[in-house]
Amino acid sequence: MLRRRRRGLSALFDAVLFFTIILAATGALFWWASAARAGATADIATRDLGRAAADIQSAALECTVGPVDYSLGGRSLLFTGTVCECLALIVRCRSAGPDSGTAGLEGAVRRIYALLVEEPLRFEVRASAEGLVQDIVISDEGAGPGGPGEVRWTCSVPLVVNGLEGELALHLWR
Amino acid sequence: MTPVVHRSPLPAPRSPSPTACTLRRDNRAVGGFFEEIPAFVVVVLSVSLFMVAAGTTIGIMGDDGELSGLQDRSARLCRAFLSCEAVLERGALSQEPLAGRLDAGKLDRLNDTALRGELNSPHPYNLTVRDLSSGREWTFGRPVPDGAPLKASAASAAVVELDDGRRDPARVEVVVWR
């Protein structure tokens, strides 16, 4: 009787051990599947963000803005042209001196980028040129400065102002 | 097999034959089938659990792969539209079609049949061009069904040149389903 009971208990013990191993294997399978899925999703998101940055940059620079008021050397003027020309004009105005008003031009550029950049992405346009003391930064309204590690993708294009070389960079982040 | 135990002493066999079975009452019986049932149930449960988990995982991974393929197709369709000569503005000097610059007049004149021939998509699609400044829209393809089991979309920034020469920011959105 005792031997019979021992044999039954031994078989049950083996079965419970088997169940534990199966449970661990199932957990490992789910962990692997979720890790593979997360990796694939992150890859697609990064790839899409790269494409989006290039598309937005090329489209935005072609768009027309204006007529917009600005002042250069104390004179009030009107501008109508592409975003690329508008950014070049902002650089020229800033280089000319402190009595130039470019708020309207910057607002027009911001509006175009804000239309093209979809939520939840945030943007920052940074123009730099030779002879310009401080970079021109036009960022999303309500977006704080992108800290290190926050910027996920950058698309830079050359910017030539009065024969001087510069760079126009678009930063996108979530 | 259930052991058969007779409580009353059996009469001694007269002549033992090779097929006869001798039954005795003692503690040396071998455990039978019923003792193994709990263990058997646990094993069956374990195997079933693993099979269900593996099936679910394979199903999810398969759906993901299919969705990723559909996503790629929608992105390719979007790219194909943005380089489709039938809707593009031409360069002032070169007269070459400019990728990503859509002509509003050509979009007005474009019909579904012509676009289907240009894009040659094996899947049903819905393509929308939206002028982000004025809110004007051009829609091509079929309406998106509510109950499509697999649906993927792709979008891209573009420019629409209006009749007065002004260029507005635009977005091209493509939805593909199966």
A69 falls within a domain: no
Say which CATH number the domain at A126 has.
3.30.1140
3-state secondary structure B37-93: HHHHHHHHHHHHHHHHHHHHHHHHHHHHHHHHHHHHHHHHHHHHHHCCHHHEEECCC
Chain A residue numbers with beta carbons less than 8 Å from the beta carbon of B166 are 64
pLDDT digit string (tens) for A32-70? 988 888 877 777 666 777 788 888 998 999 899 978 888
pLDDT digit string (tens) for A164-174? 788 888 888 87
Element of type H or E holding A44:
helix A2-62
**Cβ–Cβ below 8 Å for B42 and A26:** no
**Is the domain of A89 the same as that of A15?**
no
A33 falls within a domain: yes
Say how many domains are in chain A: 2
Residue type, B85: E
**Is the domain of A1 the same as that of A85?**
no
pLDDT digit string (tens) for B44-72? 999 999 999 999 988 888 888 888 888 88
Peptide linkage before A67 cis (omega within 30 of 0): yes
A48 falls within a domain: no
**Is the domain of A31 the same as that of A89?**
no
**Is the domain of A86 the same as that of A161?**
yes
Averaged confidence pLDDT in chain A:
81
**Is the domain of A88 the same as that of A138?**
yes
Chain A contact present for B72, CB below 8 A: no
Distance of residue B120 Cα from the nearest chain A Cα, in angstroms: 23
A125 falls within a domain: yes
Q: What are the two backbone dihedrals, phi and then psi, of residue B126, each rounded to the nearest 5 degrees?
A: -130, 125
A21 falls within a domain: yes
A131 falls within a domain: yes
**Is the domain of A30 the same as that of A112?**
no
Its pTM stands at 0.70
B30, B38, B57 ranked by CB distance to A29: nearest? B57
- The complex scores an ipTM of 0.72
A158 falls within a domain: yes
**Cβ–Cβ below 8 Å for A15 and B49:** no
Domain range for A141 is 58-64+81-95+108-173
| Chains A & B: contacts with CB separation below 8 Å | 108
Distance of residue B59 Cα from the nearest chain A Cα, in angstroms: 11
A133 falls within a domain: yes
**Is the domain of A89 the same as that of A156?**
yes
